[in-house]
Structure 1
Amino acid sequence: MNTRKILLTMIFGTFVAHHLIAQKVFNEMQYAKDKTAFTLNAPQTVTLRIYDKADAKNAVKIIKMKNAGGNKWQATVKGDLKGKFYTFDTGNGECPGLFAKAVGVNGNRAAIIDMSSTDPKGWTLDKRPDIASPTDLVIYELHHRDFSIDPSSRLMNRGKYLALTEQRAIDYLKKLGVNAIHILPSFDYASVDETRLFIPQYNWGYDPKNYNVPEGSYSTDPFSPEVRIKEFKQMVQALHKAGIRVILDVVYNHTFDIENSNFQRVYPDYFYRKTTDGKYSDGSGCGNETASEKPLMREYMLESVKYWIQEYHIDGFRFDLMGVHDIETMNLIRHEVNKIDPSIYIYGEGWSAGGCALPTEQLAMKANTKQLYGIGAFCDDMRDALRGPFNDDHKGGFLAGVPDMEESIKFGIAGAISHPQIDMKKVNYSKEPWANAPTQMVSYVSCHDDMCLTDRLRASIPGITEDELIKLDLLAQTAVLTSQGVPFILSGEEMLRNKKGVHNSYNSPDSINHLDWDNLNKYPQVFNYYSSLIHLRLDHPAFRMGDADDVRKHLEFIDSPKGTVAFRLKDHAGGDQWKDIIVILNSSKTSQTINIPKGRYTIVAECGVINSSGIRIFDDTTIDAAPQSATIMYKL
């Protein structure tokens, strides 16, 4: 048995032992009509309080829970408690426990409900849309409020889960062509007051409070514990019926704070890492970092992920600051998810926001992706080569005419794998390939976190005209969507959205973050290009080969001038009907002459227009690629 198999056997053997414990530790409330059983794992005596209402001043029952051995505490309360609320108190303040599945408004008390009553009609028949490989996904990152809050959306349930059940929203997403929605944190988070129903409030939601309950502010009634759960399920169900998967953004790497967190109130200091001098480590940049390597935190993450899959039919997970988590835990999550459905995609940010208390070699950093089996990471190599570095909004990249970005873009086009034509010495961040397969690389040029693409182009190219802005925007997304990785776009980019130049809009008002749907009428060519490009990718497997050897066999880079990247997908790559496909990305302000293999080509993309039926026929050994645009052609 090789070293890798021995290691995985040891890891998974350890996992099985812990997992038997976790089933009990994290099933804190079991409701039945005649009685409800409560369990909590805590190092000290626990008091259970039952309330009639989420905001009731006094408890109707106060029960001292009994020790059942070790740190396990239990209590059984007779009678039908449906509709009541409860808290646990270990002497550090009341909280809903670690694994509440329903809560009252603002998540301060857990709710006792019959979860089966939250299932929408036909929920048991809900089916995950099929994909053959993660590279078949086109991921659309969406914040509930951004997407639908503006009146121009003409959606009834603005800013709510239910907006994504409306036919107008469904038709729009299908026309665009995306087949996976990455929803920003939608668990119960701390920074929005759910009682202020009619007062605009905004946050991205990266401040966890209750990890396993949907956020109430996106529901039509945050005061009813059942409503947020049912409406979340209705959203998933509607998207699934439309052939669209749902990916949940999860933030297990930190909590909103330490003192008031459920982790700290139940089991002080256990769930957080500390530095050698006894201070809380802050790899998240939010004041704390969780300790994924500790058995209970590891099992917590495992059970939470599985719960979202089983209860809410979630199809994938994006791990915020995945580089804070240890490699072993991430691999165990992948292992358990594979038992349910191997097609559920897992990816994350392969970095942290500061130094962690664990050694870097143990963490799920981008550089360690080869040790993560079936888990993807964002490719900032390609992102920053295209538009400029994260830490300086005014510096540009390939799109701005900055030299020597080509090799980093080639690296992204190949899916961050080893390729004989890529000189890793010239790649901006990575000096060696970090992906085992293209399925592990998420290709993107913008996301919620940072300037959106149009703002970045304006900041990095002084005096840019609107015409030039549109050209470069389309060019950037062509690089993303013709790469061999898993493509990812920020919602609204297809509308040419802007955020008025705000870099970090996590709590900016709707006037900054909203999508202006009127832009669809103002810039119809932008939406049409995005939609045509997405459909072109989905129609042609050459753009989405999932196997590294296939990519090395069929992807060939073509020599081209500075400011251009050209490549060929040859010999029916991926089983494509087109024998050879050539893509040329030209960021320069002048046309560039490229030598290509002799043949009769049909051009399908040129000068900001895509027509898969063909724009014109071309028969020559050289082509003049139009400035600041992409050219795509094929021969049969």
Structure 2
Amino acid sequence: MAMALNVHAQEKTSVHYSRISGDYEGWQLWVWDAQDGKPGFAVEPSGRDAFGLVFELDLAARGLSGKRAGILPRKGEWDDKDGPDRFIVAREDAAVFIRQGVPEIFGELPALTTAFVYARFSGDSSVTAAFNTPVDEAFVREQGFALAGAGAEYRPVRVSLPSRYSPAARLDFGPEFAEPAEARVMGTFTLTGKLGSRAVDPGAALDAPPFRHEGFLGAETSGKGSRFAAFAPGAEAVTALIYRGPKGGSQAELRMEHKGGGLWEASSDEDFTGKYYKYGVSRDGGYAEVLDPYAGSVTAHDGRGLLHGPLPPPTEGPSFPAEDTVLYEIHIRDLTIDEFSGVKEKGKYLGFAEGGTRHPSYPDLKTALDHMEELGVNALHILPFQDFENDEADPRYDWGYMPVNFNSPEGWYASRTDDDSRRRETKAMIEALHARGMKVIMDVVYNHTAETGGKKFNFAGLAGNYFYRMKDDGSFYNGSGCGNEFRSESPMGRRFILDSLKRWVTEYGVDGFRFDLMGLIDLETAALIAAELRELKPSILLYGEPWKAGDSPVDGVKKGSQRGKGYSVFSDDLRDALKGSVFTVSDLGYVQAGNYRDKVMRGIRGAIDDFADGPLETLNYVSCHDNHTLWDRIDLSAEGASFDEKVRMNKLAQAVVFTAQGIPFLHAGEEFLRTKKGEHNSYNLPDEINRLDWTAKRKHHGVFRFYRDLIAMRKAHPAFRLRTAAEVRANLRFYEEQGLKVAPPAIAYTLDGAAAGDSWKKITVLINPSRKPARISLPPGSHSLVFDGAGLAADPREHKGHISVPPITLLVLRQ
């Protein structure tokens, strides 16, 4: 990796170079014209200051004024060098500072002092020491580190670094250090050297068998009494605090007993049903009152847990195979908050469940739940409704992707926040959806939590950093882009995720889960989720995003990881092929410009030639809550296109998705050209941007009918819902495979409906993305046109030999 800095130099620039151990003998600065590619030259130091060597560059004399120049410290005739290449662009008088092993270039004098900042156990007999700057092995050895604790002192027998210069060094203390994991966690170990002392974080010691528990965790209460159990490794004391109300008031205290391995328990003969609780935790020299991560109902993300009895068992929801799924992604508030939704309990669980709603000005126009049923979708992917960080009394909008209490429904959608309304009303919503034949798919965010910036809501207050991925310097990995990563591979982190998911299935009857940033969930945990949930509910639907939002050390789910594992992943390949990259508006896709034809064809085959073992391992989609809506993206990118052409592009994109092999996914409101007024990230924008505009359904009712017909066609014809790669390869054949001609960018293929058990014995699909009609030949025989740019044909017409496919249109013909 090369680093660059714009410096300000007209005639001369001074480059200051600091080495860790002060060994400057023989070091020079190699400089070259990186802009014009001219040969380099060596510069000898002009002197030395408190920072290190000083090199003076006469830019004018060297012809480098205003140019990009490369700099690289070297020793002698390349006996050694300190990479990577660094670059400066000289403009005005300035000094540049570089440090050994540090890629960055500093425009100001950086701190000179090397500090020892953090230490943690990284193995049974090793400790990782972290510094504020890269160091080398010799420097670490010079520190004379000693590990002290449990009445003994140990010296490292080995020192190793992951690279020549690194801010972290591993100190191995050999077989002489044989302290058990419990001692490493509960004992006070310090690592001391010339740069000072640091308490040693338990680190890897917490993953040892003594800290793995399979018994009860959480709180339960009944007429037989109450019990509490919490995982709080390293805590000095834990107390269950029992309150009469949701706020204020005095509390009863149950001192919990440490049972070993970080497990704390307490019990009482008293029935605490209807009371509230938190845990008081003393650890790391401080005290905090935090929520139980296992709490099934909370008053707020930073409130109190409610001690409650069990919910009635859930009724049996709809059961159908994955290939019959039509997913509809919706936010609870978005569905009903519009003033014309006709819903009484707008923005709430109960409003989501309301039936019989109509637009106040158009009595025949169905809204909300009735609309989704009319559209024909049968699986609702609902954005997060596990408790998330927000002010539940504030109407300010939030998608819900900063989770706090994973086992409690979010109170923002409940009629009250200080009692058990959130549980009862969530259950009522799910029951209402099941009664309409719709599965409920929860959007879940087990990849990170809202415990960022030192906040302690539950996990961190009880267990310190145990549940989070930590860097060697004690900072948090942030592959989520939200401040931390939940350590799914940790024994108790993995158990928590599994326990939580099972709870939503058994208590609420949830039918599936969509995993946010599944790239941050380790592969073993992902496989266990699929295996254990499918054992609990064979028809469960599991899928997720096979990517991360930043660098992470975890080997998580990516496209291909799902092969044969029982879960599916989103196909961003087909998404971006259809409309262009979500990150670049100027990148035109298949529907705007006929680009990416090959990628679209692979998507039509259910990604079995890319990353999937079978079509049901891929979710086909063209838009979701992230990035622009489909209409906004087309409107912004298809310059010069008429309104009618843009509507055709919208229809064509979804027609490809819903006739492709795989599981189709639809973002709510696309069926009436949903717009967020060009906003691409509406996670905290007001209702005016995020709401479903029910008047738009009337305005674009023809588009709605097209979507309704498209879904109905897919559901009625199994040829569009093939189950295995073998079926796809046998029954779906592009014209090119049959020796039939089609001029790109058009796509044409046939489906063997008879082999798939379809009433349409042979199906031909023709796709024309260009803005002119395309004349496409037909296979031998007579073909009935059953689906066109308006939807299902009321009076199918017969065609032979060829057909003219209208601009930006998908046609379906049958025999």
DSSP 3-state at the match of 1:605: strand
1:272 matched to 2:490? The reply is no
| Deviation readout 1:177-204 (Å, 9 max, x if unpaired) | 000000000000002x1133xxx31010
Between Structure 1 and Structure 2, which shows a larger proportion of strand residues? 2
1:42 alignment partner in structure 2: 232
Distance verdict in 2 for CA 1:114–1:625, change over 3 Å: same
1:216 alignment partner in structure 2: 411
- Which of 579, 593, 596 aligns to 1:401? It is 593
2: CA distance, partners of 1:322 / 1:302: 15
DSSP 3-state at the match of 2:683: coil
- Give the CA deviation at 1:171: 2.5
- Which of 494, 507, 516 aligns to 2:693? It is 516
1:13 alignment partner in structure 2: none
1:282 alignment partner in structure 2: 478
- Give the CA deviation at 1:69: 2.7
2:781 alignment partner in structure 1: 599
- Which of 142, 145, 169 aligns to 2:330? It is 142
Amino acid at match of 2:393: T
With a CA cutoff of 8 Å and minimum separation of 6, indicate the structure with the bigger relative contact order.
1
Amino acid at match of 1:128: G
Deviates more, 1:176-185 or 1:107-116: 107-116
1:173 matched to 2:387? The reply is no
How many residue pairs get aligned? The number is 584
Distance verdict in 2 for CA 1:489–1:22, change over 3 Å: farther
For 1:458-473, list aligned pairs within 5 A: 458-473=635-650
DSSP 3-state at the match of 1:293: coil
For 1:234-249, list aligned pairs within 5 A: 234-249=428-443
1: CA distance, partners of 2:745 / 2:594: 8
Distance verdict in 2 for CA 1:579–1:166, change over 3 Å: same
1:233 alignment partner in structure 2: 427
- Give the CA deviation at 1:411: 1.1
- Which of 346, 369, 373 aligns to 2:562? It is 369
2:382 alignment partner in structure 1: 183
- Give the CA deviation at 1:59: 3.2
1: CA distance, partners of 2:547 / 2:534: 24
- Give the CA deviation at 1:165: 1.7
Calculate the aligned-residue CA RMSD, in Å. Answer: 1.8
1:7 alignment partner in structure 2: none
1:570 alignment partner in structure 2: 752
1:61 matched to 2:255? The reply is no
Distance verdict in 2 for CA 1:394–1:161, change over 3 Å: farther
DSSP 3-state at the match of 1:597: strand
Rg (Cα) greater in structure: 2
Deviates more, 1:239-248 or 1:59-68: 59-68
Asked whether the equivalents of residues 106 and 195 of structure 1 are also in contact (C-alpha less than 8 Å), the reply is: no
1:12 alignment partner in structure 2: none
| Deviation readout 1:489-542 (Å, 9 max, x if unpaired) | 000111211000000000000010011101111111011000010010000000
1:615 alignment partner in structure 2: 796
| Deviation readout 1:80-111 (Å, 9 max, x if unpaired) | 31221111122252111111111124452111
Distance verdict in 2 for CA 1:304–1:561, change over 3 Å: same
1: CA distance, partners of 2:461 / 2:378: 40
- Which of 606, 613, 625 aligns to 1:415? It is 606
Amino acid at match of 1:624: S
DSSP 3-state at the match of 2:582: coil
2: CA distance, partners of 1:152 / 1:176: 18
2:392 alignment partner in structure 1: 194
- Unpaired runs of 5+ residues, structure 2, are 1-207, 357-367, 737-741
1:31 alignment partner in structure 2: 221
1: CA distance, partners of 2:301 / 2:566: 36
1:153 alignment partner in structure 2: 341
- Give the CA deviation at 1:34: 4.5
| Deviation readout 1:449-495 (Å, 9 max, x if unpaired) | 11000000011112432211211111110011001110000001112
1:624 matched to 2:804? The reply is yes
Asked whether the equivalents of residues 519 and 546 of structure 2 are also in contact (C-alpha less than 8 Å), the reply is: yes
- Unpaired runs of 5+ residues, structure 1, are 1-16, 419-432
- Give the CA deviation at 1:558: 1.7
- Give the CA deviation at 1:563: 2.5
DSSP 3-state at the match of 2:747: strand
- Give the CA deviation at 1:393: 2.5
2: CA distance, partners of 1:215 / 1:502: 26
1: CA distance, partners of 2:753 / 2:324: 20
1: CA distance, partners of 2:534 / 2:246: 38
1: CA distance, partners of 2:448 / 2:300: 22
Distance verdict in 2 for CA 1:22–1:173, change over 3 Å: farther
2: CA distance, partners of 1:493 / 1:503: 15
Q: TM-score, normalised by structure 2?
A: 0.70
Distance verdict in 2 for CA 1:22–1:256, change over 3 Å: same
- Which of 345, 353, 365 aligns to 2:549? It is 353
2: CA distance, partners of 1:326 / 1:301: 12
The alignment-based identity, stated in percent, is 38
DSSP 3-state at the match of 1:377: strand
- Which of 707, 730, 735 aligns to 1:530? It is 707
1: CA distance, partners of 2:713 / 2:302: 45
1: CA distance, partners of 2:597 / 2:587: 16
Asked whether the equivalents of residues 768 and 809 of structure 2 are also in contact (C-alpha less than 8 Å), the reply is: yes
- Give the CA deviation at 1:439: 0.7
DSSP 3-state at the match of 1:211: coil
Distance verdict in 2 for CA 1:54–1:571, change over 3 Å: closer
Amino acid at match of 2:277: Y
Which contiguous aligned blocks of 4+ residues in structure 1 show a shift greater than 6 angstroms?
A: none
- Give the CA deviation at 1:610: 2.0
1: CA distance, partners of 2:754 / 2:527: 34
2: CA distance, partners of 1:243 / 1:315: 12
| Deviation readout 1:571-628 (Å, 9 max, x if unpaired) | 52421111111111211000112222111111111233323x54312122x2211111
2: CA distance, partners of 1:407 / 1:231: 47
1: CA distance, partners of 2:783 / 2:668: 34
2: CA distance, partners of 1:250 / 1:571: 37
Asked whether the equivalents of residues 753 and 759 of structure 2 are also in contact (C-alpha less than 8 Å), the reply is: no
Asked whether the equivalents of residues 212 and 491 of structure 2 are also in contact (C-alpha less than 8 Å), the reply is: no
1:314 matched to 2:506? The reply is no
- Which of 241, 265, 269 aligns to 1:74? It is 265
Asked whether the equivalents of residues 613 and 725 of structure 2 are also in contact (C-alpha less than 8 Å), the reply is: yes
Amino acid at match of 2:602: F
DSSP 3-state at the match of 2:406: strand
1:505 matched to 2:709? The reply is no
1: CA distance, partners of 2:492 / 2:458: 14
| Deviation readout 1:107-163 (Å, 9 max, x if unpaired) | 5211111223xx4xxx55x1121213x121000000011111001111111111112
- Give the CA deviation at 1:323: 0.6
| Deviation readout 1:366-407 (Å, 9 max, x if unpaired) | 14232x51110000000000011021133221111053x111
Amino acid at match of 1:35: G
2: CA distance, partners of 1:212 / 1:29: 12
